[in-house]
Structure 1
């Protein structure tokens, strides 16, 4: 546990413990999606489900994840971080078991939706805890360290998903997801202290809550960083939701080989988080994302070029994916810390609102790919290219106009 803190002060939590907690909590998001990626084509065949319904198992989880943050965030500001985490992680584990036992695609979508509701508690509280403990510049460094750990989880997730799916089918992949939820719950109960200094008894009252949302949404720092994180995650979600059908159906990769291919993208992401910490310390947050945007744009353009040229190998897509994921590893730590930075007393609400925008973006992408994505890789490539261009534009314009957070 953390060392005792003076009355009225946040607990003294080491960077290492905070980073581990953030990695585990935020890591449930790639676990929820990446472990299932190799299972999607098998799931479609086993349940005789159309493409749109299979994509809905991802899109419904993400939409529920986004909407539920608007509830969990204010609740966490009112009752504290630990109660919300314990409730959410318990629900997440139970929903994973239910999904593994689903008998048809409708039941699976329903359980995945509930899983998204529970996942929201872990992610929104993780971001709020970061603001409880640290100022934005220090918080971005801790978040980058945490996302390095998350990168390791992201590397393992599709690889493990591919191996487990090849051995026991898509239901076995969901069992792995449930085990990850149970392990994270145990960590929170045993090691993680309450981090909120002063609870807000009025946080869930409709009037103050709507007023808080309106004030946060008008803040230009919040807007710039939230648009950046939503756009870069939009590109990543395009890879998550669409690449299995391109790599496995288009280029004939097995579930195990596809899992390894996705793990290489996670390795590039991990490299981005490592470089992010160095760039933040040397340059600051805005210059860091300005540099990273060049990699993001190159990844999107490379994917579009491969599709339009009719590339008959998976390698051009993989190289472009690596470039995009490297840039994502810089944008996310800066964006997540920057979005909640101006709101030390409303960290839960700000985190929830930022998470909702990100998740709604991903939901729309999932529905779009469900309508247009098939054997032709061009819709996938053009969608990724669009979000890469949007990310670079925001990183080079809106973010650069912000004042740099004070370094402490």
Structure 2
């Protein structure tokens, strides 16, 4: 089948290509690959560690390698999407993801599993970077943040169900079963994109892949204070979330003794808090705008991170000592990610794909670094995880209260 797309619409007609509801559903499906790829998989992480007789730090490479490939993949897919359009990149990336998930399910060694996860991360990058760029194609910044928040609410529903489903299928059929689930999910998303999603780009950039011009675009985007503020916010808040994702299965299951099913239930409660955060984000956007919304979410970020650290330092090692602070952090994350992802690309209407790619690369690079560090520091307690989330909460709150307030509404760059 061809992946050609209908001609791009004029600027005033672009939003009519995809209603806000359909756009939000599409974003939820595309972004939902992230929690499906991680949260479905996490209940099986201790099991595959034992099956392959490997260390915790080696097993966590299946998470860290995935996020690193996710970051580098965005640097490739973003400019390609600016050059050839959004639809071809989406369809190609989703097809590659489906193959990678099947390879992970069939992997017979840790090396092959890590390789499959790298391919999954690189392919997942296409869905996420194009999703963010499509929002900028279709809507002005403020409306884009609202649509992004609706999409994040849909992502929250997927994030709630993913650990529950992951815990259940892992308990029933082992750690390979979640790969079969995400393989089927990505195929269904491919069909949705093929049948529903039109081309949204206003004008393709024939020079997007020229190395000299691409390097100049990267420097111009990275130099923009508004981009740095929003990209820093999303990287900071995701760093704390990623540390929780990377370490929580070992803390909850190996340290605190939860089963795979119970762990899935505990993880899903954080997704409920995240979903509630996206709802509050939409309300705060109307009243206070993006910079006001993240300013109000930052205290919850601090309460979550510092609260978890304080309980761990006091020697309180229970499920509630990890879960309750994480709920506060996840609530704020729902606000920061919705506003931050829309904000990072809002200054670059003609280079939305490239700006989206750079924001994703920064996020993934930070997550890879903190995930590796956590893997080296993990012990038989919740303390390393708690201290890591606390550090991320401080960084996120400081960016929300300073850089975003100063530069979040900077004049758009003329790309």
- Segments of 4+ in structure 1 off by > 4 A? 1-9
Match of 2:210 in 1: 205
Match of 1:110 in 2: 115
The superposition leaves residues 114-162 of structure 1 with CA deviations (integer Å, 9 ceiling, x where unpaired) of 1111001000000000100011111000000110000000000111000
Q: Does 2:23 match 1:18?
A: yes
CA RMSD of aligned residues (A): 1.6
Q: Which piece of structure 1 moves more, 394-403 or 217-226?
A: 394-403
Q: 1 CA distance for matches of 2:132 and 2:12? A: 21
Q: What TM-score results when the alignment is normalised by the length of structure 1? A: 0.97
Q: 2 CA distance for matches of 1:7 and 1:29? A: 30
The superposition leaves residues 81-135 of structure 1 with CA deviations (integer Å, 9 ceiling, x where unpaired) of 0000000000000000000000010000001001111001000000000100011
Post-superposition shift, 1:179? 1.2
Match of 1:347 in 2: 352
Q: Secondary structure at the match of 1:10?
A: helix
The superposition leaves residues 288-314 of structure 1 with CA deviations (integer Å, 9 ceiling, x where unpaired) of 101100000000011101211111321
Post-superposition shift, 1:47? 1.2
Q: Does 2:123 match 1:121?
A: no
Q: Secondary structure at the match of 1:247?
A: helix
1:60-79 aligned within 5 A: 60-79=65-84
Contact map agreement 2:378 2:385 (CA 8 A) in 1 = yes
Q: What TM-score results when the alignment is normalised by the length of structure 2? A: 0.95
Match of 1:312 in 2: 317
The superposition leaves residues 325-352 of structure 1 with CA deviations (integer Å, 9 ceiling, x where unpaired) of 0000000010000000000000000000
Contact map agreement 1:222 1:339 (CA 8 A) in 2 = yes
Q: 1 CA distance for matches of 2:156 and 2:409? A: 26
Post-superposition shift, 1:7? 8.1
Aligned residues: 406
Q: Which piece of structure 1 moves more, 350-359 or 304-313?
A: 304-313
Q: Does 2:75 match 1:84?
A: no
Match of 2:157 among 152, 158, 162: 152
Match of 2:189 in 1: 184
Q: Which runs of 5+ in 2 are unaligned?
A: none
Match of 2:385 among 368, 380, 386: 380
Q: 2 CA distance for matches of 1:62 and 1:6? A: 36
Gap change, CA 1:222 and 1:75, over 3 Å in 2: same
Contact map agreement 1:8 1:198 (CA 8 A) in 2 = no
Contact map agreement 1:24 1:184 (CA 8 A) in 2 = yes
Q: 2 CA distance for matches of 1:190 and 1:401? A: 42
